[in-house]
Amino acid sequence: MIVAGIDIGSRASKAVVMDDGTIISSVICDTGPESVKTSQMTMAKALEGTGLSLDDVQYVVATGYGRVLVPFASENISEISCHARGITWYFPSVRTILDMGGQDCKAINCDGDGRVINFIMNDKCAGGTGRFLEMIAEVLNIPLAEIGDAALNSSQPIPFNTICAVFAKSEAIGYLRRGVSKNDILAGLNEAIATRCLNLLKRVSIEKDFTITGGIAKNKGMVAKLREKVGLEPLLCEDPQIVGALGAALFARDRCRGIGTKDESRIHYGYSDGTGNYFITIDTGQCDGCGRCVPVCPSGIFEVAAGGDGQPKARVKDEARKKLALLCPGFYACNRCLEANCQRVCPKDAISHTW
Amino acid sequence: MTTSEKPGGKISAIVRACRLISRMNQANPEVPKSDALYYQMLANYYTRLLNAREEGKFIAAHTVFFPSEILYAMDIVPMHTETTTWMMALFLGEQAEILAAGAELGLAPEICSPHRGLAGAFALGALPRPDVMLWSNLICDNTAKSGELIMELNDCPGFFLDHPFQRSEAEEKYLISELEDMISFLEEKSGQKMDWDKLSEIVAGMDRQMELFREIGELRKAVPSPFHIRGFLQLLTTDYLCPGQPEATEYLQALRDELAEMVRQGKGAVSPERFRLMTLFVPPMYLMGFLEKMSQEYGAVSVVEPLFTRWAEGRLDPSKPLASVAKKASLIPERRSMYGPLGEEALKDITTCAEQYRVDGAVYWAFMGCRHTCATIRLFKDILNEIDVPMLVIDCDIVDPTINPQEEIREKLEQFFELLEDR
Amino acid sequence: MVGEHSVMPVTVPRLDKAELPTLERFREVNATFPKTAEVLAHKRQGGKVFGWLCTYVPEEIIHAAGALPVRITGYSQETELEDGNAYLYINNCSFSRSCLQMGLRGEYDFLDGVVAGSTCDGARRLFDLWHYYIKTPFHHVLTVPRKYTEKAHALYYQQVVQFKQHLEEFLGIQITDDELRHSIEVYNESRALLRSLYELRKQDTPPITGAETMEVLDASFRMPKELFNQWLNDLLDELEAQDRAHKARARLMVVGSVMNNPEFIRSIEAQGGLVVTDELCTSTRYWSDPVVLDGDKSPLEAISRRYLNNFPCARMVPSDGRFGRILELARDYRVDGVVSQIIRYCVTYAHDLPLLRDKLKAQGIPMLALDVEYGTSGSGQIQTRVQAFLEMLEARKKG
């Protein structure tokens, strides 16, 4: 039984392919500007050399901020659930997870089966995320992969007043100009970020065992600081960056074994960007495949095809998915100009737009 | 919740710091006598709090603008929660720790930082455990909502004092009945009786202090103005901590005399005096030293703080002590435009101040945690603009230095002084 | 990237099928508010319209004066609030900024008066600035005590009397007890009808979603109550005639500050969580308690008592009153989880959050705390949290 999990993060995309109980492949790629393309590329790379094709994969679960944009995924599950699920593969004893990702930071409590008990996400600011460290690495002109070791070589960390991404950057530039060593600047920032993470962790509960996942867990300087702040030795898995994708793959395996149900019968097509979410949602639980939406769409984006259960269901055509923004004017505009449109003609109320 | 700290540990550190400053001030002939008296007063206040448990005294924690005259009259030891949190920030530099503890409780960052901090300080066990918690809606939603979490953290009972919003006879009556209910509550919990004679005495002292505040305000109209920016905070703290207390009267009298002498000699707080400023709201506590330096450097002096140091006209009557305590709440400077409907008189007072004090410019410290004051920024700017007084707005947090770097604040002030210079 | 501060695109309510034509009419009211056909018609006939700012303003008095009370709300979606920010500064809640901006831009220029309560800092400052910069002809603010003591009731009653007198003076009329009794009847009918609507949501598969309910609620304070009652009756008939059944991954309750955008709830429900009840000042807290006319109480006394005793806002002391009613709702509507939505800088609710979390936890009810801007329809980050919360609730159910 071949299953896969794919995690489209804000900075990196990860995929894990499993054959029953074994990971047969895992990859990490950069997330490009187009999530759909990124997901296809990441998956292709994960299948490379395995002798498998996408058709051989029975079930794909997508996660990460781009999870709704993976065209070949059977289901999507939030990264919070996936990290909790994924970590149990390595360490069933973990109860507290700090996931430090590209654009946010999460503290999660879970049980021995990888079920989430409580979670909290940092909000409102990029300070202390992967993106933030990238920015600082750029300012200091040190390769991202080396900033962890550099911080460890600090003799006297510089105290940072703020980890607001904007202020910290100017503060760092200021120190650099004054000739403060890069190592000390990095160590100071790590200290500030670790304090913030500790506050996040305290808002769930800090229980043994403790682990750090996400890209930042590869940064030794940060891990050392967190160990000191939290007062617990973090269990670190081989590749903390793929934990989300691994969790997704484990959920996929569960589904194939008939564990858990895929209650989510709504399928989303579309994309999101800085201006908002642009999704068309088809509720396949409601859709009876009547096909009335097909002729009314001015751009002809719909078709009716056999769904997962073999029943006819409406869906957005493959070729239309990638350029939905160009093809669909959105319900608001469409409804102003046209008497009939997909949403109005659907007798089951199964189609909706977010814009 | 972590309670590793020895209760009162921080308080004794504050006491040590105050005593030290007071002693140093006394030894230094250049420092005015009032400064030593001020720190002595602080040291006494916190010593009483520190020893209260041992002496079997009843401790009441209370929020800002609370009538602690009643507590003094009942021989209950008051603990002013916001000021105590500020003191920790000011003397001990521990704002990060207590703010983090507040965040850990799940208090959102939009909540006023002293209030987040004081909940954090209680959670850390950094403040002595009060026997009761007293709080009120004078002055804002933060004071109105602080009490219950603190009661829970300390497992103590509490009383909420409901201040009416407007001024009418019915509302004044309501406030007096609230005060009566609170006294009954305190009598029941502490087993101590209200000493009405003592309250009359304290009200008389308060009346005297209000007069002194007004006299000091008058002296500051002089050109050059004799008062330093740090003094502004000292005036606030005096009323917050020791209303109607002899040591407060003594400090205010000494200060008044010193200022009168300076005015007589034509001496100013800065020399030469170049810019006379109106301060709106409060500058960050942790910037006091920095601001004083800048004030000297640029010859800029804060001459009036309409929101905080300008007491309304009116006397207290020691023969009607409870009505006087209620009346005081309507005379405090903060009552004019910070609580109650924003009336025409309050706006008029801002421009009157600007004229009477010959103000060159106004600096509004926009404390992000104080929503109801920031909502007046535009209105004040508009009315000051009409009389050609420019206003600078500086975003800040009054206890948390991580929000706005000092450099940014310096830059803004320098630009403002340049603008004033050009006029 | 999904920006946290991204402005959401205009989202209009989905046009529903013919099955609920009345819901369509409610949507029309919301889509055209504040200048709805009903408000304009009322003005054309020479009627007066008064805007009110908070649930502690007794609407019946305005109604009994023959005027049309409408609730002042902000933009129906998250909007750039340049003017709101300039006047109220960025640290007052986006609800008050949004309302003020609409006022500054003339969207409420048809109002003859604005009535507020001293309920929270945001509301009182919104009222202050409205007074100075928008200058509606009639302004009134009521002192609203924060307690439930008899003395507090006496003070609030005195305030209600004063408000009535001020209104009578302004309009040159007398409001009689009979008129007040009639208004109480109309409003109580409205409350009873909304209760019937909420009763339907207690079912295993309710016929109406939380988002749809919010659309009805929004209309409830934007149109003449008599007409609203008629329509709501129609809607209840339609719901009965239909065979609607909404299944849920989890039954949710939304608590917290003001909210008017049904899209926010729709975004939760699009993920399979069904909102079956709520504790918002634009929902249950607005309509839940009737005015009780009994024995020798004058209608004005009855009104005054109801408004101070109503389902409490977080401003009231002690907070246990509010917490108790939330727990009661959670039990009655069999909720699996609570979503707290607090508008940033709504500190009254923010202060209650740690205490409420503990109370819910003691009852085994998990809570997801979201801080939002007024008008939001749910950003990517919010959707991730909601999804994770639903997954967590499902995992709990499966044990």
Question: Mutate which of A120, A277, A284, A341 to disrupt the C interface (most C C-beta within 10 Å)?
Answer: A277
In this structure, of A248-262, C113-127, C236-250, C375-389, the range with the lowest mean pLDDT score is: A248-262
* Residue B111, CA distances (Å) to A153, B25, B116, B158, C93 in order: 39, 37, 6, 21, 12
Domain shared by B124 and B26, yes or no: yes
Domain shared by B262 and B386, yes or no: yes
Q: What is the mean pLDDT of residues B132-156?
A: 95
Percentage of chain B surpassing pLDDT 90? 75
| B272 prior amide bond cis, ω within 30 | yes
> Is residue C15 over pLDDT 70?
no
Pair A234, A227: CB distance under 8 Å: yes
Rounded Cα distance, C131 and B291, in Å: 36
Instruction: Give per-residue pLDDT as tens, B380-404.
Output: 999 999 999 999 999 999 888 877 7
What is the pLDDT at residue B229? 78
Reply yes or no on domain C21-398 having CATH 3.40.190.10: no
Instruction: Give per-residue pLDDT as tens, B93-141.
Output: 788 888 888 988 988 888 999 999 989 999 988 888 999 999 999 999 9
- Determine the 3-state secondary structure of A22 from DSSP: strand
- Interface contact A161-B401, CB threshold 8 A: yes
Q: What length is written for chain B? A: 423
Count of CB atoms within 10 A of residue C331's CB?
Answer: 11
* DSSP assignment letter at C33: T
| Closest to B171 in 3D by CA, of C58, C163, C157 | C157
Rounded Cα distance, A150 and A187, in Å: 8
The gap between the terminal CA atoms of chain B, to the nearest Å, is 56
Number of H helices, E strands in chain C: 16, 8
Count of CB atoms within 10 A of residue B23's CB?
Answer: 14
What is the pLDDT at residue B157? 98
**Max CA pair span of chain C:** 66
Query: What is the radius of gyration, based on Cα positions, of chain B?
Result: 21
What is the pLDDT at residue C13? 39
For residue A301, which phi and psi values (nearest 5 degrees)?
-85, -10
Six-digit token string for C97: 């900024």
Q: What is the mean pLDDT of residues B339-357?
A: 94
What is the pLDDT at residue C158? 97
Asked if the domains A92-236 and A266-353 are classified in one and the same CATH topology, the answer is: no
Instruction: Give per-residue pLDDT as tens, C294-329.
Output: 888 999 999 999 999 999 999 999 999 999 999 999
Domain shared by B122 and B220, yes or no: no
Burial zone of A348 (CB within 10 Å; 0-12 exposed, 13-18 middle, 19+ buried): middle
Contacts of A33 (CB under 8 A, 6+ apart): none
Instruction: Give per-residue pLDDT as tens, A211-253.
Output: 999 988 888 888 998 999 899 999 999 899 999 999 999 999 9
Nearest chain B Cα distance for residue C261, angstroms: 22
- Given the DSSP bridges, would you call strands A96-100 and A105-110 parallel, antiparallel or unpaired? antiparallel
Q: Return the domain boundaries, chain A.
A: 2-85+244-256, 92-236, 266-353
Sorting pLDDT into bands at 50, 70 and 90, what band is A90? very high
**What angle, 0 to 180 degrees and rounded to 10, lies between the N-to-C axes of helices B33-52 and B9-27?**
160
Domain shared by B215 and B318, yes or no: yes
Domain shared by B302 and B281, yes or no: yes
Count of CB atoms within 10 A of residue C37's CB?
Answer: 11
Rounded Cα distance, B396 and B400, in Å: 8
Nearest chain B Cα distance for residue A174, angstroms: 11
Nearest chain B Cα distance for residue C98, angstroms: 14
Count of CB atoms within 10 A of residue C284's CB?
Answer: 23
Q: What is the mean pLDDT of residues C163-177?
A: 98
| Closest to C38 in 3D by CA, of C282, C278, C195, C228 | C228
Which class is domain A92-236? Answer: alpha beta
Rounded Cα distance, C231 and A186, in Å: 64
Contacts of C315 in chain B (CB under 8 A): 141, 144-145
Rounded Cα distance, A90 and B225, in Å: 71
- Interface contact B402-A203, CB threshold 8 A: no
CA quadruple C212, C215, C217, C223: dihedral positive or negative?
Answer: negative
Structure-token match 């007293």, residue found: B134
Pair B110, B369: CB distance under 8 Å: yes
- Interface contact A162-B405, CB threshold 8 A: yes
CA–centroid distance for B279 within its chain: 14
| Closest to C391 in 3D by CA, of C337, C323, C333 | C337
What is the pLDDT at residue A165? 64
Q: What is the mean pLDDT of chain B?
A: 92
Domain shared by B263 and B355, yes or no: yes
In this structure, of A124-128, B74-78, C183-187, the range with the lowest mean pLDDT score is: A124-128
CATH superfamily label, A2-85+244-256: ATPase, nucleotide binding domain (3.30.420.40)
CB contact C292 to A (< 8 Å): no
Count of CB atoms within 10 A of residue B358's CB?
Answer: 13
For residue A23, which phi and psi values (nearest 5 degrees)?
-80, 120
> Is residue C75 over pLDDT 60?
yes
- Given the DSSP bridges, would you call strands A2-8 and A12-19 parallel, antiparallel or unpaired? antiparallel
Contacts of B269 (CB under 8 A, 6+ apart): B224, B225, B226, B227, B228, B229, B262, B295, B301
- Interface contact A81-C396, CB threshold 8 A: no
Percentage of chain C surpassing pLDDT 70? 95
Count of CB atoms within 10 A of residue B56's CB?
Answer: 6
Rounded Cα distance, C336 and A243, in Å: 28
Nearest chain C Cα distance for residue B348, angstroms: 13
Chains in contact with A, where contact requires at least 3 CB pairs less than 8 Å apart: B, C
Rounded Cα distance, B295 and B290, in Å: 8
CB contact C9 to A (< 8 Å): yes
Last residue of a domain, one of B162, B194, B226: B194
In the Cβ-directed half-sphere of C198, how many Cα atoms lie within 13 Å?
22
Question: Hey, which residues does C338 pair with through a beta bridge?
Answer: C253, C367
In this structure, of B75-89, C137-151, C317-331, the range with the lowest mean pLDDT score is: B75-89
Last residue of a domain, one of B169, B194, B219: B194
Pick A199's closest partner by Cβ from B104, B401, B405: B104
Q: What is the mean pLDDT of chain C?
A: 92
- Interface contact B371-C89, CB threshold 8 A: yes
CB contact A311 to B (< 8 Å): no
Six-digit token string for A239: 């590749």
Q: Is the pTM of this model over 0.90?
A: no
Q: Does B1 reside within a domain?
A: no
Pair A285, A272: CB distance under 8 Å: no
Q: What length is written for chain A? A: 355
Pick A161's closest partner by Cβ from B103, B106, B402: B402
Instruction: Give per-residue pLDDT as tens, A278-332.
Output: 778 887 777 888 888 888 888 888 988 877 667 788 888 877 876 777 788 777 6
Rounded Cα distance, A104 and C381, in Å: 9
Domain shared by B139 and B40, yes or no: yes
Domain shared by B137 and B228, yes or no: no
Domain shared by B259 and B363, yes or no: yes
> Is residue A80 over pLDDT 90?
yes
Residue B264's domain spans which residues?
197-422
Q: Read off the CATH number of the domain in which B118 is found.
A: 3.40.50.11890
Q: Read off the CATH number of the domain in which B339 is found.
A: 3.40.50.11900
- Interface contact C355-B152, CB threshold 8 A: yes
What is the pLDDT at residue A202? 87
What is the tally of structural domains in chain B? 2
What is the pLDDT at residue A176? 85
Q: What is the mean pLDDT of residues B31-50?
A: 93
What is the pLDDT at residue B372? 95
Sorting pLDDT into bands at 50, 70 and 90, what band is B336? confident
| Closest to C168 in 3D by CA, of C65, C69, C70 | C65
Six-digit token string for A67: 């999870």
Task: Report the alpha-carbon angle A103-A203-B6, nearest 5.
Answer: 135
Count of CB atoms within 10 A of residue C82's CB?
Answer: 11
Last residue of a domain, one of B194, B218, B251: B194
Six-digit token string for A7: 């995690």
Interface confidence (ipTM) of the complex: 0.94
Instruction: Give per-residue pLDDT as tens, C92-108.
Output: 999 999 999 999 999 99
Rounded Cα distance, B320 and B323, in Å: 6
> Is residue C11 over pLDDT 50?
no
Which class is domain A266-353? Answer: alpha beta
Q: Does B139 reside within a domain?
A: yes
Q: What is the mean pLDDT of residues C161-175?
A: 98
- Interface contact A199-B401, CB threshold 8 A: no
Contacts of A171 in chain B (CB under 8 A): 405
Three-state SS across B2-54?
A: CCCCCCCHHHHHHHHHHHHHHHHHHHCCCCCHHHHHHHHHHHHHHHHHHHHCC
- Determine the 3-state secondary structure of A6 from DSSP: strand
Pick C355's closest partner by Cβ from B142, B148, B379: B148
> Is residue B315 over pLDDT 70?
yes
What is the pLDDT at residue C2? 32
CA quadruple B367, B368, B373, B377: dihedral positive or negative?
Answer: positive
What is the pLDDT at residue B402? 77
* DSSP assignment letter at A223: H
* Residue B57, CA distances (Å) to B62, B75, B198 in order: 16, 8, 17
- Interface contact C354-B107, CB threshold 8 A: yes
Q: What is the mean pLDDT of chain A?
A: 85
**Four-CA torsion C309, C311, C313, C314, nearest 10 degrees:** 100
Q: Does B211 reside within a domain?
A: yes
What is the pLDDT at residue C6? 30
Six-digit token string for B65: 């603008």
CB contact A72 to C (< 8 Å): no
Question: Hey, which residues does B197 pair with through a beta bridge?
Answer: none
Q: What is the mean pLDDT of residues C251-256?
A: 97
Rounded Cα distance, C298 and A313, in Å: 62
Rounded Cα distance, A53 and B82, in Å: 65
